[in-house]
Structure 1
Amino acid sequence: MTAEDRIRALPCWTGGIEIAPLPGGLSNANYVVTDAAGRHVVRFGKDYPFHH
């Protein structure tokens, strides 16, 4: 499952969505998602042991 697939599967969206990568982030993949309610940022990160 891709990051885009996971974003589409989130139940919080209103209507259809558009997904665009958001550059930057050292340990996260960031996306701007636009739906009928506005623009939102989605961040995906990995479970790094040093965060525990």
Structure 2
Amino acid sequence: MNYYFDYHSTPHDDNLSLALGQVMVNALRWWIKTSTIDDMNISQRSERERT
């Protein structure tokens, strides 16, 4: 069991985890930004239809 933890705690794996975390955060930010823009476009369209 110690071998598993020794092998998986290398600096390379830490850098890989950090890079993957940054990719996930950026993807989440992009998804939130695009979904809120879509929501704004939908609400603007519905307001135009009311007038």
Q: What TM-score bracket applies, with the shorter chain setting the length?
A: under 0.3
Q: TM-score, normalised to structure 2's length?
A: 0.21
Q: TM-score, normalised to structure 1's length?
A: 0.20
With a CA cutoff of 8 Å and minimum separation of 6, indicate the structure with the bigger relative contact order. 1
Is the radius of gyration larger for structure 1 or structure 2?
2
The structure where helix makes up a greater share of residues is 2
